[in-house]
Amino acid sequence: MSRVFITGSADGLGKMAAQLLVKDGHKVVLHARNERRGKDALAAVPGAEAVVVGDLSSIDETKQVAEEVNKLGKFDAVIHNAGVGYQEPRRITTVDALPHVFAVNSLAPYILTCLISRPQRLIYISSGLHRQGDVSLHDLTWSNRAWNGYRAYADSKLHDVILAFAVARRWPDVLSNALEPGWVATKMGGAGAPDSLEEGPKTQVWLATSDDREALLSGKYFYHETQRDFLPSAADETIQEQFLAKCGQLSGVSFPTA
């Protein structure tokens, strides 16, 4: 039996993954951005151990989420599922004056990775669109570029792969992987999404709990429990170190040493 924390588990794939984990007898702690959604999450996942509340678009609240998670004790796995989509028509800024998409999809997973007591497994939800992300890492905050929600989302999903691979390299005692769940009919994906919604949450559950040989690899990219090609630049150590450094500067949180 494993103990798993899942960000963004009030709805969508995060909620579905939590339901699968509880059904399989694992302990699950949920996360929601506010109290109302936290209550909804607990109602939707009977048997969940607890819910942690905090808005991941805020650096301070993300730090508080990490603190609350650590108070609950050790976790075997953390699934970084929380994310926002590509339909923001303008540069929506957070309380920290960062683009909303970058703050939630890119910076929050970095902060939580740094501050939550190190689990045995880390899983980062990416997207096939990461292959269209900007590997230069220039202007992460979109301060000088004309806003493009689609590109900002693609960038953020590339960041998740870069982070997963950087963690795998920096922390060899942790299994750290990224995955794409497919384009599925969640609130983010839309009703016309072509991939299987039923299959959408299964790979993250598998990576979090399975003893299958493939699930015990690290620094890999998966789709439906199978390794899939990724943008090669994500495996570049120089790019990984640049990303960690930039996130450290923006958040005030340094990446822990091994």
Task: List the catalytic residues.
Answer: 153, 157
Distinct helix (H) and strand (E) counts, the chain: 8, 8
Token pair listed for 161: 């792969």
The angle formed by the CA atoms of residues 89, 230 and 232, to the nearest 5 degrees, is 105
Closest CA to 83 of 60, 101, 58: 101
Long-range contacts, 223-226 (Cβ 8 Å, 24+): 223/128, 223/179, 223/180, 223/181, 223/182, 224/182, 224/199
Single-letter amino acid, residue 92: I
Closest CA to 177 of 119, 134, 131, 249: 119
Bridging pattern class, strands 175-179 and 77-80? unpaired
Q: In angstroms, rounded to a whole number, what is the distance separating the alpha carbons of residues 105 and 157?
A: 7
Q: Tell me the three state secondary structure of residue 66.
A: helix
Closest CA to 169 of 134, 128, 220, 129: 220
Closest CA to 253 of 64, 114, 103: 114
Spell out the residues 6+ positions from residue 71 whose beta carbon is closer than 8 angstroms to its own: none
